[in-house]
Copies of this chain bind each other. A is one copy, B any other.
Amino acid sequence: MYRSPIKHCRNCGAAVAYRVPDDGDTRERAVCPACGTIHYENPLNVVGTVPHWGDKVLLCKRNIEPRWGKWTLPAGFMELNETTAQGAARETDEEAGAQFEMEDLFSVMNVERVGQVHLYYRARLLSEQFHPGHETIEARLFTEAEIPWDDLAFRTVKETLACYFSDRRQGAYGIHVIDVA
């Protein structure tokens, strides 16, 4: 898992207690009994792209857990000091080593169960040459018929790909807002 429970204060190191702060808050937080620091935990953004080349889409075979060996769109956790689009481009570079041009936001998906929001952008590939990083076993292009639907790493990837090929058939791309169970 990406986040372990908060046991100690980030400011002074004392053991925290979980309680509702006295500042009008309504949720339990990890509160430091020594220095008063309140620790908030909030959802994380995952940002990525749908890199496309003609009627094909680029997928990466994961060389990391979770879902080692499954296929995914290039994506990862958004970092500080970058926008959602910059983060999506960074992940596409790191995981696929692709050359591409960023296009519009394409999907916004809530994955409430794991406290994440996933945002995918369309990206137009400029070359068929890929140089995947250490997180990827293989990067290759798939037509809609070739997509390994049963071997995709995440539900958000499946939803985004389904929307992408559906929009492509209709000749117009929207922004898809989806709640993923």
Residues in A lying within 8 Å of B, measured CB to CB = 2-15, 24, 27, 37, 39-45, 77-86, 104-105, 108, 110, 112, 115, 117, 119, 134-135, 175, 177, 179
A7 touches B2 (CB 8 A): no
A6 (CB) vs chain B CBs: closest residue: B10
B8 touches A4 (CB 8 A): no
B12 touches A10 (CB 8 A): no
B80 touches A43 (CB 8 A): yes
A113 (CB) vs chain B CBs: closest residue: B81
How far is it, in angstroms, between the C-alpha of A81 and the C-alpha of B110 when the chains are bound? 10
A18 to chain B, nearest CB (A): 13
A4 touches B13 (CB 8 A): no
